[in-house]
Amino acid sequence: MSQIIPAASASVLSRRGFLSTSSTAIGGAMIGSLAIERLAFGAASDEIKIALIGCGGRGSGAANQALNVPGVKLVAMADAFQDRLTGALNSLKSSQGPKVDVPADRQFVGLDGYKKAIALADVVVLATPPGFRPQHFEEAVRQGKHVFMEKPVAVDGPGVRRVLAAAEEAKKKNLKVGVGLQRHHQPGYLETMKRLHDGSLGDIYLVRAYWNDGGVWVNPRKDGQTELEYQMRNWYYFNWLCGDHITEQHIHNLDVANWVKNAYPVKAHGMGGRQVRTQKEYGEIFDHHAIEYTYADGTTLLSQCRHIRGADSNVSEQCVGSKGFCNISGHSITPSGGGNAWRFRGEKPVDPYQQEHDDLFAAIRKNTEYNEAFNGAKSSLTSVMGRMSTYTGKTISWEQALNSNVNLAPNDFENLRWDSECKSKADANGFYPVAVPGDAKWFKMVV
């Protein structure tokens, strides 16, 4: 397989590395929903107050981009960890100056401060580990706030259902919701999709989606950490927080496939495992997944994601139709049997990470319909369905994934404490249980 990493990857690095040289959030006073009129902004001169919930690199990058929009000010921050909040605050002050106004009494550290931070803002940026997203989104909507939330928006069926319910409530309240699937705001993707939907490729019968790369960071265990703190510091390797890398990263590519089809798969059958990244520090997730998804019209989506260093990297999407081939991530269409190929050539570079914030705040100011939560939830479920299939070795239907009652979070999640018991527990040697496809026990645990 050739190495294909589209230009968008550079934006991924620039955004997510925003605080890489600096030092997840959770953050409660109950407050009634604000009147919608309070949130109707007429012009860029009208100040919009934002709160950041989740102060890691991704949250700080999203807050920085929100602050690039004229008339936006950061007024509150919340995170589980003091060092994360302090590092983000210092970096944002350095880059945005007076647009960052977060004194000590508007800094909320701990597991219950998110409600207080949400109460102080007009727009909330939700960028904690994904397992907290349904809870925080639900609270933001309850308080009548517009939302930008990072993807994925949930890691299991119960979480997806919670987000879909909150999305319906946001729609009733005329709240604007953006989701960090930034390809929807990237001109090359937008023009390519327009051509595909206009029939340039004819009937599409095969889509391919890849996120094959080397993996991410690890934070070593420290003396005195509770199990909950250790897992939250290493949230990428625990499914109740991350959903495995198929959900945390590969969702981007799966979302593009769904966009091509204007639909969501009805079933998934795949295989996966943990062959290389087998050390205890990699928690409970697999290092590779390969899945065949099927849409209602019979179209096949072939999906791969891998975290193995030294293997080929490939982050891309393609599709094949009755009239030719489309390199979706490369924004080109090649007709079969000859003919003029098409390639997108934009007039100027556009940062899709910035554009998604520009579009959200424009919708808020103009009071136009804007709610990306429904697609965010369903593309998140697409990834969850794939994980359920690779973990069990069974075909999993959309209905099974959506209606699953397997909740990955700790039992006392709504009142989480640092001594709360995690469902995934290490053995005496520090290794966590890893799914075994074909094992009936795992089928019951996953489905």
Hey, where are the domains in the chain?
A: 8-183+355-370, 204-321+379-405
Q: Pull the structure tokens for residue 321.
A: 């139709």
Domain over 8-183+355-370 is classified CATH 3.40.50.720? yes
pLDDT digits (tens, 9 = 90+) for 154-194: 999 999 999 999 999 999 999 999 999 999 999 999 999 99
* Cα torsion angle, 418, 422, 427, 432, sign: negative
Q: Which residues pair with 212 in a beta bridge?
A: 306, 314
How confident is the model at residue 442, as a pLDDT? 86
**Residue numbers in the chain where pLDDT is lower than 50:** 1-40
CATH of 204-321+379-405, picked from 3.30.360.10, 3.40.640.10, 3.30.1330.30, 3.30.70.580, is 3.30.360.10
CA distance 97 to 64: 11
How confident is the model at residue 45, as a pLDDT? 57
DSSP 158-193: HHHHHHHHHHHHHHHTT--EEES-GGGG-HHHHHHH
How confident is the model at residue 441, as a pLDDT? 87
Please state whether beta strands 72-79 and 48-53 pair in parallel, antiparallel, or not at all (unpaired).
parallel
Instruction: Give the angle subtended at the CA of 16 by the CAs of 11 and 17, to the nearest 5°.
Output: 100
CA distance 353 to 52: 16
How confident is the model at residue 41, as a pLDDT? 55
Give me the half-sphere count of Cα atoms (radius 13 Å) on the Cβ side of residue 29: 8
8-183+355-370 against 204-321+379-405: fold identical:
no
pLDDT digits (tens, 9 = 90+) for 303-341: 999 999 999 999 999 999 999 999 999 999 999 988 889
